[in-house]
Chains A and B, each alone.
Chain A
């Protein structure tokens, strides 16, 4: 079956513009996660969805970041008024609950803010 997909794969935007990043999880996976990864580094947790609810938003770095999920499927991560420090790869993962921990990742969206 299809894995996690993300779009766009690359996004270059000017400082101050808004961007939307999309994630399509594996069908039937109720949990969805967003992470940020700076070059050559580990993953920084941003937000976790269980169904369409986000019980853990603790990793969102500022109020410029928001995310939503609809239909227990697609999720969108929105960054408003982008800054250069937002440049990174944004990764989405999904998992079946309650089987904790085995997360399946998409290929990521590489965001460059100029």
Chain B
């Protein structure tokens, strides 16, 4: 069974701090996505990375796909209360199954004002 482990599971920080969330697997994925989910809503796609070693920046968020396409990280600079939510990574194309996403275990982030 493919598994995407995220760490940490929970993170509570003060506004202005930096943080990194990790997403690790023993499986190789063709793509890696990050989603953010707020209470009572479905996940919203933040970014897709497809190339090993790829780095993408979205304002204060930096996403990296590992060279071997087995892991990824999300770094947030100067976190704000609006960043609060459940962050989910999702690996695409495990074992060649191009229409499937395997979701990570999630990281619940709380940014205190």
Contact = CB atoms under 8 A, between A and B. Distances in A.
- Does chain A bind chain B? yes
Interface of A: 4, 31, 33, 35, 40-45, 48, 50, 55-56, 91, 93, 97, 100-108
Contact of B45 (A31, A103, A106, A107): A103
Interface stretch (B12-20, B52-60, B68-76, B86-94): B86-94
A50 B97 CA distance: 13
Interface in B81-103: 86, 88, 90, 92-93, 97-103
Given A42-B88, A42-B105, A100 B42 contact: no
A100 B93 contact: yes
A43 B45 contact: no
B42 A91 contact: yes
Given A43-B103, A102-B48, A105-B42, 4 more contacts: A40-B108, A43-B43, A45-B103, A107-B40
A31 B106 contact: no
